[in-house]
C-alpha cells in the first residue's frame, strides 16, 4: 500500500496559524482569517477548510459519504423553498408604523387605540390572489392588503383586500372559487388569469359573485401601484370597550396619494416591460424617502343601524356605502423600511384573521368565521410546524408568556421545573380576567342547519349600484374586460349564462357584451332570488376617477431626450417635478446619456428600447431636431409616443419632436393633453395639468377599449 502523503501546504499552515479568535459580548467565539474576514462555518459552527471541492476518493474518484459539509450545504439548498401560499403567493412587503389619531376608549379597549400620537410597529404585505410566486404584478386580480400591527397586547392581523367584498358568502365555497380561477388542472394554464372556462363556469353558476365580478372587471383590479389603492377589512368586526359594550366596525385603508389604475392594454405591456412593476415601485418610493401612507378609517354602527340597513351586515358580498355611513379617520399607516431579507420577512410572514387584541372581536360573518378556522392550518403547512410564531417577523414585540413547548423547530421553551398550571409552586404565568381577551357575550339561538339566510339573497342590486357609480370611461372598461374575459371562454353556454346575469345588473351593459361576443339572440335575464333594486343611488366613493388625486405627487414623468435637448426646458422640468414631490426618469437612445444644448452631460435611467412609456404616468418629448431624425428610425421610439397617446396620458413636447409625434399617429387638432413646451416658461402649466393623470376625453377617438 502506498504511503499516504500530507495534503497540507506551508501556506495552509500559515492560514491556520493566522486565524484570530475573539469573544463576543455574549461570550460567543468568533473566528477570523488572516484577511480579517469571518471564517466560513457549517450551520453547527464548525469552520470549513474547503468550500470549492467535495470530498472524494482521489482526484477523479467517487464522492465520499462522510463529507458532512457537502451533505449539509446541498441539504439546505434543496430545502430553500417553503411551499408557496395557495392564494396570495406573489407578494411584497414593507415595515412601518401605525399612528393613532385620538383615543377610541369609548368604542374599544384595544391598547393601540388609547393614546393619541402613539406609534406602533407594523408590517404590510401586498399580493395578488390567483397567480403563483413567479407570475407578473399587473394581472387582473384582487390585491391582498394584509397588515400586521405589533401592539402591546399582541399582534393584530387585519387581513384584507383592495376590494371591500368577496366572491362568496360562505367559506365552505372558498376551495371551489380558488380551484376554478387557478390553472385548469389537466393542462396547468392559464397562469394568473381568470379568462378561462373553469372560472367563468363557476361564477356563472354562483349569482352571489356578481357584485365582486363588477369590481374585478373594473380598473380596481389593475392598480397603478400599491401606493394608489385602497384596502378593506371586508368583513364586519366588533369594537368592544372596557364595559363590554359592542360597536360594529368596518375597516378601510385610504391612500394619501389617491386612487389610480392602469388601462388593460397598458397592463399587458407593463407585464412585458417590467413584470416586477409594483414591487419596483414600492422599493423605489421607500428607498427615496417618499414613504407610502394610508389613513385607517372606520365605519362605526350599532345594532339598530344593522337591523334597519337595506342589506345584511354579515354578508361579505355587500358594502355599506360611504354616503350612507361616512368613514371616520382614526389613524395612519406609514411604510418607511424595506425588509432586510425577502424570504425571512415577506415570505415567512404569517397572517391570521384570528389574531386580534382585546377590544376587537368578530361578527358572525360566515366567511370570516371560516377564515378564522382555516388560517392556522395554512401556516402549519407552509412553515412546517406549530412554532412559526418563533420566527422574528411573526413574533410579538410585547412580552409574552405561556407553557407551549417542544415541537418542530422550537426556539423557546419554558425555563425551569414548571411547564403547566395550576401548579403548587406558584410559578409561571396566570390568566387575567381583567386584562385578558374576553369575547363579546352575544346571545345566539337557532337550530343546527346548513342554509343561507334570506337576507343574503339579493345578488344583483349592489352590483348594479357599483356599475352606475362609475364614470363613462370606467363603465367602458368594465364592458371591455367582460368582453375580453368571456371571449376566452370556449364553451358557448357559459358565455350565455354569464350575460344572462348581466341583464339583472344593467341591460345596456349586457347587450354591449352580448353583441361584442357575437350573440345572434340575447338570453333572457337569469332567474333571481330577489329582483334587482332600482332605487339605490350612485355612490361617487366607488369611482376611481371621481376619487382621483388631482395632483401629480408620487407619480413619475418619463422624459425622452437626445443630444442637443434644450437644457433650459429640461432643467425646468426637473425643478417643477421635484417641487410637486414626483419622480422622473430620463430615457435616451443610449443608456450612457446625452449632451444637453448647454454642453452638460446627463446620464439616462433607461434607453429607449427598455423604457417604454407604459412605465410612466406622463411623458415629455424633448429630442433635438437631429435627435428626432435618429429616433424616427426606432420603432420603439414611435411606440413610446403612440402608447402614451393611446393610453390617454399627458404629453409635453418641443417643436422638434413633431415629426416623431406625427409618425406615432398624433395629428392636428391636438387635444388638451398634448401640450407644447416652446420655452422653460411653459413647463409650470404642463406640470400642473398632470394632476388630472389622464385625458379620458381622448379615449373614444383612440378606441382603447
Rounded CA-CA distance 595/288 in Å is: 26
Q: For residue 183, with 0-12 CB atoms within 10 Å meaning exposed, 13-18 middle and 19 or more buried, which class applies? A: middle
Question: Which of helix, strand or coil describes residue 484?
Answer: helix
The DSSP secondary structure of 506-564, one letter per residue, reads: -HHHHHHHHHHTT-SSPPPPPP-SSPPPS-PPP-GGG-TTTT--SS-TT-EEEEE--TT
Q: Which of 161, 387, 394, 504 is catalytic?
A: 161
Catalytic residue among 69, 88, 501, 647: 88
How many CA atoms does the CB half-sphere of 90 hold within 13 Å?
22
Q: Are 654 and 700 in contact (CB under 8 A)?
A: no
Which residues have CB under 8 Å from 23's CB, separation 6+? 29, 30
Query: What are the CA-CA distances from residue 169 to residues 208, 369, 370, 398, 638 (Å)?
Result: 7, 11, 10, 36, 49
How many whole angstroms separate alpha carbon 6 and alpha carbon 147?
Answer: 59
Burial status of residue 275 (CB atoms within 10 A of its CB: 0-12, 13-18, 19 or more): middle
ω before 190 within 30° of 0 (cis)? yes
Q: What is the 3-state secondary structure (H, E, C) of 242-282?
A: CCCCEEEEEEEEEECCCCCECCHHHHHHHHHHCCCHHHHHH
Neighbours of 597 (CB within 10 A): 14
Degrees to nearest 5, angle at CA 390 with 389 and 393: 75
Backbone angles phi, psi at 372, to 5 degrees: -60, -35
Indicate the length of the chain as a whole number: 705
Asked if residues 358 and 109 have their Cβ atoms less than 8 Å apart, the reply is yes
Whose CA is closest to 250, among 157, 145, 328, 341? 328
Is residue 106 a contact partner of residue 118, using CB atoms and an 8 Å limit? no
Query: Contacts for 406-410 with beta carbons within 8 Å, 24 or more apart?
Result: 408/384, 409/384, 409/385
With b meaning 16 or more CB within 10 Å and e meaning fewer, what string describes 456-483? bebbbbbbbbbbbbbeebbbbbbbbbbb
Q: How far apart are CA 621 and CA 657, in angstroms?
A: 6
Quote the crossing angle between the two packed helices 472-487 and 507-516, to the nearest 10°: 40
Bridge partners (DSSP) listed for residue 558? 585, 619
Take residue 542 and report the three cell numbers written for it: 366607488
Active site residue 13: no
Cα end-to-end span (Å), the chain: 83
User: Would residue 88 show up in a list of annotated catalytic residues for this protein?
Assistant: yes
Helix (H) or strand (E) holding 29: strand 29-32
Centre a 10 Å sphere on the Cβ of residue 393 and count the other Cβ atoms it contains. 19
> At 360, which helix (H) or strand (E)?
strand 360-362
Contact yes or no for 615/277 (Cβ under 8 A): yes
CA–CA dist 299, 252 (Å, integer) = 8
Taking the C-alpha atoms of residue 212 and residue 50, their distance in angstroms, rounded to an integer, is 58
Q: Tell the burial category of 659 from Cβ atoms under 10 Å away from its Cβ (0-12, 13-18, 19+).
A: middle
Q: What is the DSSP letter of 625?
A: H
CA atoms of 370 and 239, how far apart (whole Å): 20
Catalytic residue set: 88, 161
Amino acid at each position: 500500500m502506498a504511503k499516504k502523503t500530507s495534503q497540507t501546504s506551508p501556506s495552509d499552515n500559515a492560514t491556520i496559524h493566522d486565524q484570530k479568535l475573539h469573544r463576543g459580548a455574549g461570550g460567543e467565539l468568533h473566528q477570523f482569517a488572516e484577511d480579517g474576514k469571518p471564517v466560513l462555518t457549517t450551520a453547527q459552527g464548525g469552520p470549513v477548510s474547503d468550500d470549492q471541492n467535495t470530498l472524494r476518493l482521489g482526484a477523479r474518484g467517487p464522492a465520499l459519504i462522510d463529507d458532512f459539509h457537502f451533505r449539509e450545504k446541498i441539504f439546505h439548498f434543496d430545502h430553500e423553498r417553503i411551499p408557496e401560499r395557495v392564494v396570495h403567493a406573489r407578494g411584497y412587503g414593507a415595515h412601518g408604523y401605525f399612528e393613532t389619531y385620538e383615543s377610541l376608549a369609548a368604542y374599544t379597549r384595544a391598547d393601540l387605540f388609547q393614546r393619541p400620537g402613539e406609534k406602533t410597529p407594523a408590517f404590510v404585505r401586498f399580493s395578488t390572489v390567483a397567480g403563483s410566486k413567479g407570475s407578473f404584478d399587473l394581472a387582473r386580480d384582487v390585491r391582498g392588503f394584509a397588515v400586521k400591527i405589533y401592539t402591546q397586547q399582541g399582534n393584530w392581523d387585519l387581513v384584507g383586500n383592495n376590494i371591500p367584498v368577496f366572491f362568496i358568502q360562505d367559506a365552505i365555497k372558498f376551495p371551489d372559487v380558488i380551484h376554478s380561477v387557478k390553472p385548469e388542472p389537466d393542462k396547468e394554464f392559464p397562469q394568473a388569469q381568470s379568462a378561462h372556462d373553469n372560472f367563468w363556469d363557476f361564477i356563472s353558476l354562483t349569482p352571489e359573485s356578481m357584485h365582486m365580478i363588477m369590481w374585478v372587471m373594473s380598473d380596481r383590479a389593475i392598480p397603478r401601484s400599491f401606493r394608489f389603492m385602497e384596502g378593506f377589512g371586508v368583513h364586519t368586526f366588533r369594537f368592544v370597550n372596557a364595559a363590554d359594550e359592542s360597536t360594529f366596525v368596518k375597516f378601510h385603508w385610504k391612500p394619501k396619494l389617491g386612487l389610480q389604475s392602469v388601462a388593460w392594454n397598458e397592463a399587458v405591456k407593463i407585464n412585458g416591460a417590467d413584470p416586477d412593476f409594483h414591487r419596483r415601485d414600492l422599493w423605489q418610493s421607500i428607498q427615496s424617502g417618499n414613504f407610502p401612507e394610508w389613513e385607517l378609517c372606520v365605519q362605526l354602527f350599532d345594532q339598530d343601524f344593522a337591523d334597519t340597513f337595506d342589506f345584511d351586515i354579515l354578508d361579505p358580498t355587500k358594502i355599506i356605502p360611504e354616503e350612507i355611513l361616512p368613514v371616520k379617520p382614526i389613524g395612519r399607516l406609514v411604510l418607511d423600511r424595506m425588509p432586510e431579507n425577502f424570504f425571512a420577512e415577506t415570505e415567512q410572514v404569517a397572517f391570521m384573521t384570528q389574531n386580534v387584541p382585546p377590544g376587537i372581536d368578530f361578527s358572525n360573518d360566515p366567511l370570516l368565521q371560516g377564515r378564522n378556522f382555516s388560517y392556522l392550518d395554512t401556516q402549519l403547512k407552509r412553515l412546517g410546524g406549530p412554532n412559526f410564531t418563533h420566527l422574528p417577523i411573526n413574533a410579538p414585540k410585547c412580552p409574552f408568556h405561556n407553557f407551549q413547548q417542544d415541537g418542530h423547530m422550537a426556539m423557546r421553551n419554558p425555563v425551569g421545573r414548571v411547564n403547566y398550571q395550576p401548579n403548587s409552586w406558584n410559578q409561571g404565568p396566570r390568566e387575567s380576567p381583567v386584562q385578558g381577551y374576553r369575547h363579546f357575550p352575544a346571545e345566539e339561538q337557532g337550530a343546527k342547519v346548513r342554509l343561507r339566510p334570506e337576507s343574503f339573497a339579493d345578488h344583483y342590486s349592489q352590483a348594479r349600484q357599483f356599475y352606475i357609480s362609475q364614470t363613462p370611461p370606467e363603465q367602458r372598461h368594465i364592458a371591455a374586460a367582460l368582453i375580453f374575459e368571456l371571449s376566452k371562454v370556449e364553451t358557448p353556454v357559459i358565455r350565455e349564462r354569464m350575460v344572462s346575469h348581466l341583464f339583472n345588473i344593467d341591460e345596456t351593459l349586457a347587450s354591449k357584451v352580448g353583441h361584442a361576443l357575437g350573440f345572434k339572440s340575447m338570453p333572457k335575464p337569469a332567474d333571481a332570488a330577489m329582483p334587482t333594486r332600482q332605487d339605490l343611488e350612485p355612490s361617487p366613493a366607488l369611482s376611481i376617477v371621481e376619487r382621483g388625486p388631482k395632483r401629480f405627487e408620487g407619480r413619475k414623468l418619463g422624459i425622452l431626450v437626445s443630444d442637443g435637448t434644450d437644457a433650459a426646458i429640461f432643467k425646468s422640468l426637473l425643478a417643477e417635478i421635484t417641487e410637486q414631490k414626483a419622480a422622473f426618469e430620463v430615457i435616451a437612445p443610449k443608456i450612457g446619456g446625452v449632451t444637453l444644448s448647454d454642453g452638460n452631460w446627463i446620464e439616462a435611467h433607461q434607453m429607449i428600447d427598455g423604457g417604454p412609456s407604459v412605465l410612466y404616468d406622463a411623458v415629455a418629448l424633448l429630442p433635438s431636431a437631429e435627435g428626432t431624425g435618429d429616433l424616427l428610425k426606432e420603432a420603439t421610439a414611435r411606440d413610446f409616443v403612440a402608447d402614451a397617446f393611446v393610453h390617454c396620458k399627458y404629453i409635453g413636447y418641443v417643436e422638434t419632436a413633431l415629426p416623431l409625434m406625427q409618425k406615432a399617429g398624433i395629428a392636428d387638432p391636438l387635444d388638451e393633453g398634448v401640450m407644447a413646451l416652446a420655452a422653460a416658461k411653459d413647463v409650470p402649466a404642463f406640470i400642473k395639468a398632470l394632476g388630472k393623470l389622464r385625458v379620458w376625453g381622448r379615449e373614444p377617438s383612440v378606441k382603447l377599449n
